[in-house]
């Protein structure tokens, strides 16, 4: 069912659950847990404070907060009065904040005290008329010309019920920045309808999420994947979400799983690999409460899928989505997971694989992925030219290259700019990386194309070794290369191996291959 014409996400995901299940625990895991009724109260406090501060429909509100009740209240409080929340990484750097502020033109910023020193100089040079600092403990170093107020002083204690601004399902609701895995992040403008569409199509119809579930997302709320997994997916069915505001670390995440016993676990391939390394230390995490484990953000290597299933008895459900489509549009189903496949289209989404001339390709051929669905974004903020290139009618060009097998299952091959043509044939970095992960010395890896002295593109591998493996120096690159050539055809095998301590990644865990290509 499409959402009604008059529709606002703050009513659908906050006010309505508070009426139906006021005493149900909505949020666990942070210093301050909250029921649905308490969340609604906090959302109304923020909405009224923003309105009293001069925030108007259409104004952008930058949200620089860790996963918390305050994040949820700020996000939905802004949406409730017709403003556009813009959540960003609370652990970013000054240059990142400068980009976000200049690009979206935010008039208000709600900032955690730990991020304030990093963003302060950018705020002074921006269009922000008021900055609200959370957990300041009463003291904030102020800069001339910068209007700053603490969260405690700013909020209205007894707001009552705040009237929701009249919005339609197709009105802009919030901005989400892309991960920046290929360069500077862009802001995707999403409609109010997007959250309900993905909640029904993926969370409910694919995952079967229900009210007695406890969800836990390692991915943070400012990331499109985490925003659904950790916030509006559980709220859509009146379930409970476990929030973890700190930087994720395998041993700490394992402790949270033991303490709060989540039933649905969301993470990224990089972190599933980290959990496997944690298990190899002898401290096997207890995942006995988890009925579903979900992966996105990067393709899930078949090797990690198999090792995780063997170690924990859980099949990871892989999927592919994007910030522009808000969440998953292709995903595997419970009990139908296939190693190396990201699944089939989720209900309500259509996908097609085409060549450079936009002709549909037969099964088995690699092509560009176009997708359509009710959660598609309106366009990129301040970038109409790229919006026109990537959107055609109801369809969006994802920038990914995929192939479909004879059974209708889709396989991710890489970003269009990550693919390599070697000896006249396409090489998918995902294929080579998955094969490399089968070597007992390899913990993580990334494969990119680099030009040789003659200007020809050759695969090059960057490898992070497993714990306990001695640093290279005794021909380990030759050993791995010889081993790999028994598993892949010659033109796919890297010509060089570079052993590094860690791979360059975005804050959401995606490998920044463009940084490796430029080395």
CATH number assigned to the domain comprising residue 197: 3.40.50.12780
What is the distance between the alpha carbons of residues 45 and 125, in angstroms, rounded to a whole number? 28
Whether 408 and 431 share a structural domain:
no
Structure confidence at residue 280 (pLDDT) = 79
Residue 21 domain-assigned (yes or no): yes
Parallel, antiparallel, or unpaired: how do β-strands 316-321 and 328-331 relate?
antiparallel
Contacts of 77 (CB under 8 A, 6+ apart): 10, 42, 43, 44, 45, 46, 47, 49, 50
Helix ranges (DSSP H) in 238-356: 250-260, 269-280, 302-312
What is the distance between the alpha carbons of residues 411 and 124, in angstroms, rounded to a whole number? 47
User: How deeply is 451 buried, as exposed, middle or buried, from its count of CB atoms within 10 A (0-12, 13-18, 19+)?
Assistant: exposed
For 270, the 3-state DSSP assignment is helix
Percent of the chain that is helix, strand, coil (3-state, to 5): 30, 25, 45
Structure confidence at residue 379 (pLDDT) = 97
For 53, the 3-state DSSP assignment is coil
Q: Tell me the sheet residues that pair with 293.
A: 265, 316
Parallel, antiparallel, or unpaired: how do β-strands 264-267 and 496-499 relate?
unpaired
Please, how many CA atoms are within 13 Å of residue 418, restricted to the half-sphere of its CB? Answer: 30
Decide which of 415, 449, 466 is a domain's last residue: 415
> Of 498, 500, 436, 440, whose CA–CA distance to 469 is shortest?
440
Residue 182 domain-assigned (yes or no): no
Instruction: Tell me how many helices (H) and strands (E) the chain has.
Output: 17, 27
Whether 324 and 449 share a structural domain:
no
CA 389 → CA 16, 61, 69, 176, 395, distances in Å?
A: 38, 28, 38, 19, 11
Residue 2 domain-assigned (yes or no): no
Q: Tell me the residue range of the domain where 13 lies.
A: 9-177
Whether 314 and 394 share a structural domain:
yes
Structure confidence at residue 305 (pLDDT) = 93
Decide which of 177, 212, 236 is a domain's last residue: 177
Whether 76 and 143 share a structural domain:
yes
User: How deeply is 383 buried, as exposed, middle or buried, from its count of CB atoms within 10 A (0-12, 13-18, 19+)?
Assistant: middle
Structure confidence at residue 3 (pLDDT) = 66
353 sits in which H/E element: strand 350-354
Q: Domain with 45 in it: what CATH number? A: 3.40.50.980
446 sits in which H/E element: strand 442-451
Residue 48 domain-assigned (yes or no): yes
Residue 184 domain-assigned (yes or no): no
Residues 133-143: b if buried by 16+ CB within 10 A, e if exposed: bbbbeeebeee
The total of other beta-carbon atoms located within 10 Å of residue 382's CB is: 14
Decide which of 134, 149, 177 is a domain's last residue: 177
169 and 5 Cβ atoms separated by less than 8 Å: yes
Residue 186 domain-assigned (yes or no): no
Whether 47 and 137 share a structural domain:
yes
Whether 343 and 241 share a structural domain:
yes
Whether 234 and 381 share a structural domain:
yes
Q: What are phi and psi of 255, to 5 degrees?
A: -65, -40
> Of 458, 469, 468, 471, whose CA–CA distance to 499 is shortest?
471
Q: What are phi and psi of 426, to 5 degrees?
A: -70, 140
Residue 151 domain-assigned (yes or no): yes
Whether 74 and 213 share a structural domain:
no
> Considering its fold, how many domains does the chain have in total?
3
The total of other beta-carbon atoms located within 10 Å of residue 161's CB is: 11
- Which 8-state DSSP code applies to residue 162? P
Whether 465 and 335 share a structural domain:
no
Residue 298 domain-assigned (yes or no): yes
Whether 297 and 394 share a structural domain:
yes
Parallel, antiparallel, or unpaired: how do β-strands 130-134 and 148-150 relate?
parallel
Q: Domain with 451 in it: what CATH number? A: 3.30.300.30
What is the distance between the alpha carbons of residues 464 and 442, in angstroms, rounded to a whole number? 6
Whether 338 and 317 share a structural domain:
yes
What is the distance between the alpha carbons of residues 401 and 419, in angstroms, rounded to a whole number? 8
pTM reported for the whole predicted model: 0.85
241 and 28 Cβ atoms separated by less than 8 Å: yes
Structure confidence at residue 488 (pLDDT) = 87
Spell out the per-residue pLDDT of the chain, length 519, in tens: 566 778 999 999 999 999 999 999 999 997 789 999 999 999 999 999 999 999 999 999 999 999 999 999 999 999 999 999 999 999 988 989 999 999 999 999 999 999 999 999 899 889 999 999 998 776 677 667 678 999 999 998 888 889 999 999 999 999 999 876 555 789 999 999 999 999 999 999 999 999 999 999 999 999 999 999 999 999 999 999 999 999 888 899 999 999 999 999 999 888 898 898 888 777 778 999 999 999 998 888 888 899 999 999 999 999 999 999 999 999 999 999 999 899 999 999 999 999 988 899 999 999 999 999 999 999 999 999 999 999 999 999 999 999 999 999 999 887 777 778 786 677 888 889 989 999 999 999 999 988 877 677 889 999 999 887 876 556 888 999 999 999 888 888 998 999 999 999 877 677 888 889 877
- Which 8-state DSSP code applies to residue 263? S
CA 41 → CA 69, 70, 76, 226, 505, distances in Å?
A: 11, 12, 11, 23, 37
Whether 466 and 330 share a structural domain:
no
Parallel, antiparallel, or unpaired: how do β-strands 214-217 and 264-267 relate?
parallel
221 and 87 Cβ atoms separated by less than 8 Å: yes
């Amino acid at each position: 069912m499409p959402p009604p014409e008059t529709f606002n996400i703050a009513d659908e995901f906050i006010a309505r659950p508070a009426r139906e299940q006021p005493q149900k625990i909505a949020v666990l895991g942070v210093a301050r847990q909250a029921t649905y009724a308490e969340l609604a109260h906090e959302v109304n406090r923020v909405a009224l404070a923003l309105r009293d501060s001069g925030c108007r429909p259409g104004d952008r509100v930058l949200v620089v907060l860790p996963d918390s009740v305050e994040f949820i209240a700020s996000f939905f409080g802004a949406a409730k009065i017709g403003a556009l929340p813009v959540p960003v990484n609370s652990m970013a750097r000054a240059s990142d904040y400068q980009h976000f502020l200049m690009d979206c033109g935010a008039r208000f910023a709600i900032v955690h005290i730990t991020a304030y020193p990093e963003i302060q100089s950018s705020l002074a040079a921006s269009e922000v008329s008021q900055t609200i600092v959370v957990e300041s403990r009463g003291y904030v170093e102020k800069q001339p010309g910068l209007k700053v107020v603490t969260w405690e002083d700013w909020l209205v204690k007894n707001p009552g019920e705040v009237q929701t601004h009249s919005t339609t399902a197709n009105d802009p609701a919030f901005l989400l920045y892309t991960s920046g895995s290929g360069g500077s992040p862009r802001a995707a403008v999403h409609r109010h309808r997007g959250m309900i569409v993905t909640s029904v199509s993926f969370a409910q119809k694919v995952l079967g999420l229900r009210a007695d579930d406890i969800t836990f997302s390692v991915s943070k709320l400012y990331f499109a994947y985490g925003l659904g997994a950790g916030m509006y997916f559980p709220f859509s069915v009146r379930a409970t979400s476990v929030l973890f505001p700190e930087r994720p670390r395998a041993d700490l995440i394992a402790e949270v799983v033991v303490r709060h016993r989540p039933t649905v676990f969301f993470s990224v391939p990089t972190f599933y690999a980290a959990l496997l390394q944690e298990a190899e230390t002898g401290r096997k995490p207890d995942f006995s409460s988890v009925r579903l484990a979900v992966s996105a953000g990067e393709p899930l290597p078949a090797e990690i899928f198999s090792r995780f299933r063997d170690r924990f008895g859980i099949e990871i459900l892989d999927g592919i989505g994007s910030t522009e489509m808000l969440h998953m549009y292709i995903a595997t189903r419970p009990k139908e997971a296939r190693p190396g496949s990201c699944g089939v289209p989720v209900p309500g989404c259509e996908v097609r694989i085409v060549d450079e001339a936009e002709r549909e390709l037969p099964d088995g051929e690699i092509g560009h992925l176009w997708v359509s669905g009710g959660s598609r974004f309106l366009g990129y903020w301040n970038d109409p030219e790229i919006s026109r290139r990537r959107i055609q009618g109801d369809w969006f060009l994802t920038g990914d290259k995929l192939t479909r097998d004879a059974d209708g299952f889709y396989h991710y091959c890489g970003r269009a700019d990550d693919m390599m043509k070697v000896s006249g044939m396409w090489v998918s970095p995902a294929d080579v990386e998955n094969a490399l992960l089968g070597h007992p010395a390899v913990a993580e890896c990334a494969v990119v194309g680099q030009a040789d002295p003659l200007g020809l593109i050759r695969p090059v591998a960057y490898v992070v070794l497993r714990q306990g493996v001695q640093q290279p120096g005794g021909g380990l690159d030759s050993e791995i290369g010889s081993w790999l050539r028994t598993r892949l055809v010659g033109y796919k095998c890297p010509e060089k191996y570079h052993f590094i301590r860690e791979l360059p990644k975005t804050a959401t865990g995606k490998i920044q291959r463009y940084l490796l290509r430029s080395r």
